[in-house]
A and B are shown apart, each in its own frame.
Chain A
Amino acid sequence: MTAIQDPVSTRAVLAQSAGSSSRASSREASNRVKRTSRVTLAWLATIVFILPIYLAVSNTFKPLKEILGNPLGLPINPTLDNLAKAWNRPDHLIQGGLLNSMLVTGLTIILIIPISSAVSFWISERTPKVKGVLLAIFALGLMIPPQVVLQPIVEILQVLHLDHSYPGLILQNVGGGLMSFAVFVYVGFLRTVPKEIIEAARVDGASEFRTWLTVVFPLVRPATATVAIFIGLWVWNDFLNPVYILGALQGQTITAGIYASLGTYSSDYGQLFGIMFLAAVVPIVGYLAVQREFIAGLMSGAAKG
């Protein structure tokens, strides 16, 4: 199994034995056929699966005539017109949306990380009974469909005079179900931190706050990465909260803005693909940049959830 997983050593072993008998060389040939057919099959499955993405990307760079004449092919006359049309919309959907999304996503992450890591450390230091109760309360947030609390949240924000505002959107991001996720990631990670390290800081007379800031916070960096990546992705992709909290007439986040302006260009596929491309490029580039942490975080987060 290991030999198959490592084709270099397989090849080396096979090459060594190749001269010794014709049987070995025929086995090598059959192995190579197997390998090639497996790669081919895997590529076929992959291509079929990501065909929708291919269609969206390749048609972004085609003139409308070509989209309708030859939607499956690669662009014959590649053009940036669709991107330009999307970018130069008079309502500045893309520029405004990207800016608003960065603001909302960035501030949510900046606020939620210290607050949730501090409360997680505080919870970890309680007796098992208190800890159990607190975690059970936080578990609620992992399961509640956002539709259950959305309308009450809109009203609460009205009472606080934060309705139709970015501070309102950001604060409810920080305090809502996302905090549950962050707390579970941090508390889970803190279980793996040796107690001695924290005790040592205590013996030195550091306050809880200092211990958290100088010892715990740097130690839980992998958990912070997981929290930042996933909450960033979810807030960026969130559609329900911005639409109903900011309201349709406000400047929107990119995800909600696209939805709000749907229909105005439903006949113009070129511009539609242009907008989609510009909106999707941020999460995809982000994912490619932190792919390893993304998958590690997904597994560690999921294992605890």
Chain B
Amino acid sequence: MSRRTESFRRSLGLAPLAWLAFAMYAVFLVYPLLYSVWQSFTNRSPLRLNTAWVGFDNYTEMFADERFWMSLRLTLIVTVFVTVVSNGIGLLFAMLLNKQTVNYRLMRTLVFIPQVLSGVIVGIIWNSMVTQNGLINVVIRNLGGQGIGWVGTPELATLVVCVVVSWMTIAFCTVVYTASLQSVPAELYEAARMDGAGAISRFRNVTIPMIAPGITISVTLCMITSLKLYDVLAVLTSGGPSNSTKSTAFYVIESAFSTNRFGYASAIAIFLLALTAVLSYITSGLLRRREAHL
């Protein structure tokens, strides 16, 4: 008993700071999340005087909404493209640059830069390249060719979005894989070589198993990043042409702040959260299981 009061007295000094943290987290994360869940079952809107409970109406509407499916299709295309491409190229880059001379260190520093740029800056840089009068078309015209509307058709614009987002995440993947590769003991490669393993076999049987934790991190984070994609799109294409590059996160913002349908926006947002949770749970679970087996 006295020990308990003693430890209570001691923890008292720190507890107010801890409670402050819990209070802030409750106000700015837990409550907004619960609020959003509640709201998704209502027709709430600032344009409406009374809010009514509408059950699953928002969700039913969502699954019948062509705009929603378009946004989901774009989000999934970008997510798959970005995750596969940026992890593949990131690993190749990390292997290519995994040396300790000044040259290679300088190259690594340069390659890592895109990941510290904001989505807005990346959007502007690439926008200045791909618009009708952008730098790429300027070069093509100077060479006597004809400019292409890189973000003029839905298909090309989607491809451009995939490339630009990958560009940002390749830098991140390269950092993760570089650090993973540097943690692989050189003796392992030596031993594999002694056993007569060729380059491909060494990659499959030494490199991949040893960097498996890095793969889990990199793949999962690329996926989460792509699923909540918004700011690059807002600047790069503004979601066009004809809504073809509006991600699901983009559609949430538009529904909440442009068309003022808070209830509907919340339904889409909760769906996006569930999708993110399920996909990252499955992916990291699958990859972790491989880690354990190897």
- Which of these, A45, A69, A72, A148, contacts B36 with CB under 8 Å? A148
Cβ–Cβ contact B126 & A52, under 8 A: yes
Is there a chain B Cβ closer than 8 Å to A109's Cβ? no
- Which of these, A56, A145, A152, contacts B32 with CB under 8 Å? A152
Is there a chain B Cβ closer than 8 Å to A224's Cβ? no
Interface segment, one of A19-27, A80-88, A172-180, A188-196: A172-180
Q: How many A-B residue pairs have CB under 8 A?
A: 258
- Chain B contacts with A in 76-128, Cβ cutoff 8 A: 93, 96-97, 99-101, 103-104, 107, 109-114, 116-121, 124-126, 128
In the complex, per-residue mask of A289-305: 1 if CB is within 8 Å of any chain B CB, else 0 = 00100010011001101
Interface size on B, residues (CB 8 A): 88
**Given the interface contacts A41-B96, A125-B11, A283-B118, does A147 sit within 8 Å of B107 by beta carbon?**
no
| List of B residues within 8 angstroms of A236 by Cβ | 118
- Which of these, A55, A145, A284, contacts B125 with CB under 8 Å? A55
Expressed in whole angstroms, the Cα–Cα distance for A238 and B100 within the complex equals 34
- Chain B contacts with A in 228-281, Cβ cutoff 8 A: 228, 230-231, 234-235, 249, 252-253, 256-257, 262, 265-266, 269-270, 272-273, 276-277, 280
A280 closest partner in B (C-beta) = B121
**Given the interface contacts A68-B138, A143-B224, A255-B118, does A272 sit within 8 Å of B124 by beta carbon?**
yes
- Which of these, A7, A175, A305, contacts B217 with CB under 8 Å? A305
Interface size on A, residues (CB 8 A): 96
Is there a chain A Cβ closer than 8 Å to B151's Cβ? no
- Which of these, B17, B30, B93, contacts A114 with CB under 8 Å? B17
In the complex, per-residue mask of B112-150: 1 if CB is within 8 Å of any chain A CB, else 0 = 111011111100111011000001001100100000000
| List of B residues within 8 angstroms of A69 by Cβ | 142
Cβ–Cβ contact A207 & B129, under 8 A: no
Is there a chain A Cβ closer than 8 Å to B15's Cβ? yes
Cβ–Cβ contact A244 & B257, under 8 A: yes
| List of A residues within 8 angstroms of B112 by Cβ | 287, 291, 295
Cβ–Cβ contact B253 & A207, under 8 A: no
Is there a chain B Cβ closer than 8 Å to A237's Cβ? yes
In the complex, per-residue mask of B11-40: 1 if CB is within 8 Å of any chain A CB, else 0 = 111110110111011011111110110010
Expressed in whole angstroms, the Cα–Cα distance for A299 and B228 within the complex equals 22
| List of A residues within 8 angstroms of B10 by Cβ | 202, 207-208
**Given the interface contacts A68-B138, A153-B32, does A276 sit within 8 Å of B272 by beta carbon?**
no
| B54 vs chain A, min Cβ distance (A) | 17
Cβ–Cβ contact A272 & B128, under 8 A: yes
Is there a chain A Cβ closer than 8 Å to B160's Cβ? no
Expressed in whole angstroms, the Cα–Cα distance for A68 and B36 within the complex equals 48
Q: Report whether over half of chain B's contact residues are helix, strand or loop; otherwise say mixed.
A: helix
Is there a chain A Cβ closer than 8 Å to B161's Cβ? no
- Which of these, B25, B114, B128, B227, contacts A175 with CB under 8 Å? B25
A152 closest partner in B (C-beta) = B32
Expressed in whole angstroms, the Cα–Cα distance for A175 and B24 within the complex equals 5
- Which of these, A118, A177, A279, contacts B18 with CB under 8 Å? A118
- Chain A contacts with B in 99-148, Cβ cutoff 8 A: 114-116, 118-119, 121-123, 125, 137-138, 140-141, 143-148
In the complex, per-residue mask of B166-178: 1 if CB is within 8 Å of any chain A CB, else 0 = 0100100001101
> A122-B14, A305-B217 given. 12 additional CB < 8 A pairs?
A49-B110, A49-B167, A55-B128, A72-B139, A118-B14, A138-B25, A140-B30, A145-B228, A151-B262, A153-B28, A156-B27, A288-B109
Residues of B that sit less than 8 Å from A by CB: 9-15, 17-18, 20-22, 24-25, 27-33, 35-36, 39, 93, 96-97, 99-101, 103-104, 107, 109-114, 116-121, 124-126, 128-129, 135, 138-139, 142, 167, 170, 175-176, 178-179, 186, 189-190, 213, 217, 221, 224, 227-228, 230-231, 234-235, 249, 252-253, 256-257, 262, 265-266, 269-270, 272-273, 276-277, 280
